[in-house]
Structure 1
Amino acid sequence: MEPLHRHDSDSQAHAWLVHLTSGTATRSDGEAFRLWCTARPENAEAFARARALWEVLGPAAALRAHERGAREQARARHAVRVSRRAFLGGAVAASIAGLLMVRSDVFTRGSTPDGRGLRTRVGEQKRITVAPGVDLEMNTDTDIAVRERGGVVTGMHLRQGEAVVRIDAGRKDPFVVEVADGRLFSAPGASFAVRCADDAATVTCLGGQAVINRAGTNVPVKPSQQVAFDANGIGAAMAVNLDTALAWRERVLIYDNQPLADVVADINRYRPGRIVITDHALGERRVHARFTLDQMGEVATLIQDAYGAHATHLPGGWVLLS
């Protein structure tokens, strides 16, 4: 049975490598790949063999692809006519580019039945006034649905990402924040950070007081406290260092005695592509680290140098650490 297992693992490893180097892999693919690598030792060993082969042949293949592309560009420059098909292809590409420019705007009208949506791209941060007396600081890769009733903004739903919400002391109307399956009620003058990733949520209070209502239970959150909750339930309020927890507002990421796997998962929110740890022991290593957002392009190399990991760089910003 062992040769069969190895054959299966080798085939799957090559399939994964082809997909990861295609430039079309998604974040969910990254998590599925990580789980596959750690499912059994044969998988990780098979991928190590496939990766070693890719590192030998990859540069040569890339050079051939570059040379082939250069020849095709030269032929295109000498073409005397543009076919109707090429013209239509260009028109379609221009239309898609226009659509992407529209979607990159901070407001995306009609994205929710409630009114408008607010988005930031990967690596982007924005500040915006969402309603009279309500200001937002949106972190990277954040998706918010604005709740409206009769043309009046009544709240927001954080579908993904992270934001700091500030309620002006003079605002009289309530502003309800939904995050995961909880609802957050706050008094005027309150400020708090909300985060949602993979259906797990946290609420961190900066000032004033807020109350999380979830499954009929109310949990107050006071300044310098954080409450986390997910499908398994809601935790008690815990003291938190605001300078560390919200360092992203100063374009800094601080990690204090956290597993490297958790650190990498957070870093992936700030950079295109994905860093994937394929070695379970490496992912469990505890990390004390500080990065600036300007270092996100080289963060994989910094991790490699600091923790003795082996990094394989793939197209599309994907990096495999083992």
Structure 2
Amino acid sequence: MTRRHVTGDRGTTVTSPDPRRTEIEAAASRWAVRLGGAPLSDAERRSLSAWLAESRDHRAAFEHAEAVLSELSRIGRAAKASPRRVVIRRRTRLYRLAAAAAVLLALTTGLLWVRDPLVMLAADFQSATGEARLVRLTDGSEVELSPASAIAVHFTGAERGIELLAGEAVFTVAPLGDGEARPFVVEANGARARALGTQFAVERVATGARVVVLEHRVEVAAPGGAEGGRVVLAPGQSVRYDRDGGLKAVAAADIGEATAWRDGYLVFDRIPLGEVADKLGRYRHGRIVIADSALASRQVSGVFRTSELDTALDVITRELGARTVSVFPLVTVVY
């Protein structure tokens, strides 16, 4: 699951930006955002004046950042008023303008946190971006973590508990017997999957979780929903849980598709773009931000190699009639 730094349809190699210019533009963006908040203190005013006086590059970057912040505000107002008719002015400067807007968006919303620091602190085991990891637990069970995934282990005298904090994983459970009587339970976003057999997969998504059974059976319990809050899944079956709508109806699942990431592929079958972006973000550095909820709800289908996900994002956005702007390696905005 190594990552190639490519962009566009021609496979052009991405080069790293000039560190000094990147630092200046980031500082200018921070000052522009700060000026849009509470009034500056005396110390901040002196600091800004000194920074601007250091170089003409500082002042030019600051003026550009202020213009971009104003333009981003205009785009946001226009999107609310008429989402289909948003136009970015000065198209000859589209890339630089939109890229700077992406940085400002990330700075103002905290979206540069690709990995949740609270999850990282709570995790007993986690995998890095773009890298899968096999974990062997003390009871003999195994957990295959997909990239950028994390679990916390809560083994007690009564239960072998696992909390899936981020991402997805395949669990191969050591069976009961031979002195092991504790049930094996995985919790993810409010849903609890209790192993009645040996192997199943759990994926945590923003609004809930999905459980797919590979072998034997798994009991899934969650508040509310069409199934009365509890179902037992057989091999090749899946169920989704949504925090707002509860447990959904049991559905057939293609096991090969559900675990394709183990073989270096991602398979999407009518999956919302927002969820697709979250999954792509586990395999590539930098945050993927969807500009509005309507776009995030658009459905995506396709099969993509995990080694070519920069190209995959280009393909997806082109098929949806959307665009992307990026500030490598921080953020890509889809709008």
User: In 2, Cα distance between the equivalents of 1:13 and 1:37?
Assistant: 16
Q: Which amino acid aligns with 1:41?
A: S
Of 304, 315, 321 in structure 1, the residue corresponding to residue 328 of structure 2 is 315
**1:141 maps to what in 2?**
148
- Conserved in 2, the CA contact under 8 Å of 1:44 and 1:279? no
- Conserved in 1, the CA contact under 8 Å of 2:188 and 2:208? no
Q: Which amino acid aligns with 2:68?
A: H
**1:177 maps to what in 2?**
186
Q: Structure 1 or 2: larger strand share?
A: 1
SS at match of 2:130: coil
Tell me, yes or no, if structure 1 residue 225 matches structure 2 residue 233: no
- Post-superposition offset of 1:298: 3.4
**2:166 maps to what in 1?**
160
Note closer, same or farther for the CA distance 1:302–1:154 as it changes in structure 2 (3 Å cut).
same
Q: Which amino acid aligns with 1:159?
A: L
- Conserved in 2, the CA contact under 8 Å of 1:147 and 1:157? yes
What are the superposed Cα offsets for residues 60-97 of structure 1, whole Å, 9 maximum, x if unpaired? xxxxxxxxxxxxxxxxxxxxxxxxxxxxxxxxxxxxxx
Instruction: Please report the TM-score for the alignment, with normalisation by the length of structure 1.
Output: 0.62
SS at match of 1:272: coil
User: In 2, Cα distance between the equivalents of 1:122 and 1:37?
Assistant: 35
User: In 2, Cα distance between the equivalents of 1:260 and 1:312?
Assistant: 16
- Post-superposition offset of 1:195: 1.2
- Post-superposition offset of 1:197: 2.0
What are the superposed Cα offsets for residues 179-212 of structure 1, whole Å, 9 maximum, x if unpaired? 221222222x421101112241111111111111
**2:311 maps to what in 1?**
298
What are the superposed Cα offsets for residues 269-293 of structure 1, whole Å, 9 maximum, x if unpaired? 3212133344777656554321111
- Post-superposition offset of 1:246: 1.6
Note closer, same or farther for the CA distance 1:278–1:218 as it changes in structure 2 (3 Å cut).
closer
% identical equivalent positions: 27
- Post-superposition offset of 1:320: 3.0
- Post-superposition offset of 1:306: 5.3
- Conserved in 2, the CA contact under 8 Å of 1:128 and 1:137? yes
**2:105 maps to what in 1?**
none
Instruction: Please report the TM-score for the alignment, with normalisation by the length of structure 2.
Output: 0.60
Q: CA RMSD in A?
A: 3.9
- Conserved in 1, the CA contact under 8 Å of 2:190 and 2:208? no
How many correspondences in the alignment?
244
Tell me, yes or no, if structure 1 residue 14 matches structure 2 residue 14: no
Where do 5+ consecutive residues of structure 2 fail to align?
1-35, 37-64, 100-116
